[in-house]
Amino acid sequence: MNQADPSDQSPGRVSILGCGWLGLPLGRRLVESGFLVKGSTTDPGKLPLLDAAGIEPFLLLLDPEIQGDLPSKFFQTDILLINIPPGRGREDVEAYHPGQIRALIPAIIETRIPFVIYVSSTSVYPNVGGIVREEDAGSPPTASGRALLEAESLLQSHAEFATTVVRFGGLIGGDRHPARFLAGKSNVADADAPVNLIHQEDCLRILTRLIEGGPRRDVFNACADAHPTRRDFYTHEARKFQLPVPLFSNARTSPSKIVNSEKLKRTLNYQFVYPDPSDAFPAG
């Protein structure tokens, strides 16, 4: 008697490239929902952690400077979620991160993955005053932002698979507690600039909804609805947790922007769990 293929009883297969702060809890959640999940890490010490979460672990160092074979089994999947940082500390980030994506694309095409989700950032937007929407990306002021925007374009240019890009704002939640970000610092610039933040729980729910929805070609901003000023938000968080309040200067380094996420909310019928980042960390 032939045993049933486990994939026939699963809602699908997902491979998560980058099982860190966001990828690992996403993998756990998908496993709990019945998905067959594969996950990669660059740290051999984390392989048992993935395995314990029910995620099939892979050690995968995606270095465009090292021409090595990628594990074909990792790419035998219905959805590839790319969640690797661009490498802000690297002087060659503008070449390095797009190089990582170029190294991935042949494996995506060869294994006929139908759907790729790319985790990007709102750093792809220029420092212009006012509201920015998905179509406003261009001329990023940082090297990592330029690297992300080129990586987006590389994936979107291929007709062999559908790519959805999710541009997350500043990530908070879990061990990323905003009360500690600026506590006790002085001469902090851009006091009146609005914050563009998103909680980890909202990130997980948005990515899960995209995975469950199936292949689509699209781009979404993902930031909480409320955008308090840096002065108001970080002072409020520091006082809430009895930490030294940051001291802001009158210096302004660049025009401020508000990232608009209405397209995400409308298209995916999504309401944020934490629409105001000031409510994301209740005291006590």
pLDDT score of 65 more than 90? no
Q: What is the pLDDT of residues 198-225, one digit of tens each?
A: 999 999 999 999 999 999 999 999 999 9
What is the predicted pLDDT for the residue at 4? 42
> pTM for the full model?
0.94
Alpha carbon separation from 223 to 47, 150, 228, 260 (Å, rounded): 31, 21, 12, 7
Phi–psi pair at 209, nearest 5 degrees: -65, -40
Q: Domain 12-175+197-227+257-275, what architecture? A: 3-Layer(aba) Sandwich (3.40)
Domain map of the chain by residue range? 12-175+197-227+257-275
Angle at Cα 205 formed by Cα 138 and Cα 153, nearest 5°?
Answer: 25
Q: Alpha-carbon distance 278 to 35, whole Å?
A: 33
Residue 81 in contact with residue 207, Cβ under 8 Å? yes
Q: Does residue 116 contact residue 166 with C-beta atoms inside 8 Å?
A: no
Residue that is written with structure tokens 């002065």 in the block? 231
The tens digit of pLDDT for each residue in 68-78 reads: 678 999 999 99
Between 66 and 86, name the one with better pLDDT.
86
pLDDT in tens, 236-284: 999 999 999 999 999 998 889 999 999 999 999 999 999 999 999 988 6
pLDDT of residue 2: 38
pLDDT, tens only, 9-63: 678 999 999 999 999 999 999 999 999 999 999 999 999 999 999 999 999 989 8
Amino acid code (one letter) for 242? Q
Of 143, 124, 271, nearest in space to 199 by CA: 271
